[in-house]
Amino acid sequence: MSRGAIGRAARVLGVAAFWLAVWQLLYQSVGQEILLVSPAQTLSRVFELSCRADFWVSAGGSLYNVAAGFVCASLLGVVLGALCCRFRFLYQLIYPLLSAVKATPVASFIILALVWLQSVRVPAFIAGLIVLPIVFGNVCQGAAAADRELLEMARVFRLGRWKTLRYIYLPTVAPYLAAAFTTGMGLAWKAGVSAEVLANVRSSIGGRIYGAKIYLDTADLFAWTAVVVVLSVALERLLLACFRRIPWGEGKP
């Protein structure tokens, strides 16, 4: 391990230790476990839960809901974004709708979706609805940032649509897409789990959080929240790692 990597790891551990210490101090000063549980209690509860089969069923259920919404919305966002870059009128048609979706409170959509759909489908729908405008917006922004001079070069040398897309648009859009995916993944978990709570979806983390609220089980609430955070960060990292393996921008300054 290089000295730089050791330094980085030490910094990360230092920051984590600081916030755990703050949490512990808060726990001690509040002194009521119904309001705040300690980091050790949370960790121990996560461990206890993870020894039960229904933990994995719930975590898997939420993972499925969020991933399904995220993947569908990302694909739709990329396709819509690409079409809107090609056909300006389509952008003018779609942009106000997606802007409205972005600005509308998630709770309104969750309640509407509960009226429209079966409750098990609501979390994936909501996760997708949150991700779609982000991916769409970033694809459009990335495509608009394509270097005009390179596009002129492509035109002179008659590169054609495929080469122009592959060699100019994709490397330009890639960082915007990566940013959309990281932001979108976090928001998809937030919105997806919120929808699970409001829809009280069984076999999901949201359903478990709802149960924790009913029984005022703060340790369970913290444990499931910790699971959401871990899953969200892990998926985000995995996604970025996959993204980096695609050789579309390695020489970019």
Partner 1 sequence: MKLEHLNQAYGERAVLRDFSLELPDSGTVCLFGPSGCGKTTLLNCLAGILTPQGGTITGLSGKRISYVFQESRLLPWATVLENVELVLPPNHTQTALEWISRAGLLPYAGQYPRKLSGGQRQRVSFARALAYGGDVLLLDEPFHALDRAAAQEMSALLQQSFPESLKILVTHSREEAERLSDRIYFLEGPPLRVVSCREQTAR
Q: Which two three-digit tokens encode residue 140?
A: 């459009």
In the complex, least distance from residue 174 CB atom to partner 1, rounded to whole angstroms: 9
Asked if 14 touches partner 1 (CB under 8 A), the answer is no
Stretch that binds partner 1, among 29-37, 77-85, 119-127, 167-175 (CB under 8 A): 167-175
Asked if 251 touches partner 1 (CB under 8 A), the answer is yes
Residue 68: left (phi > 0), alpha (psi -120 to 50), or beta?
alpha
29: DSSP letter: H
In the complex, least distance from residue 106 CB atom to partner 1, rounded to whole angstroms: 37
Alpha helix locations (H) across 31-159?
A: 39-50, 53-86, 88-103, 106-116, 122-144, 148-156
CA distance 192 to 199: 10
Asked if 149 touches partner 1 (CB under 8 A), the answer is yes
How many other CB atoms are found less than 10 A from the CB of residue 252?
9
Asked if 165 touches partner 1 (CB under 8 A), the answer is no
176 or 248: CB nearest partner 1: 248
| Sole binder of partner 1 in the list 11, 52, 155, 213 (CB under 8 A) | 155
| Residues forming the site for partner 1 (CB under 8 A) | 149-150, 152-153, 155-157, 159, 163, 167-168, 171, 248-253
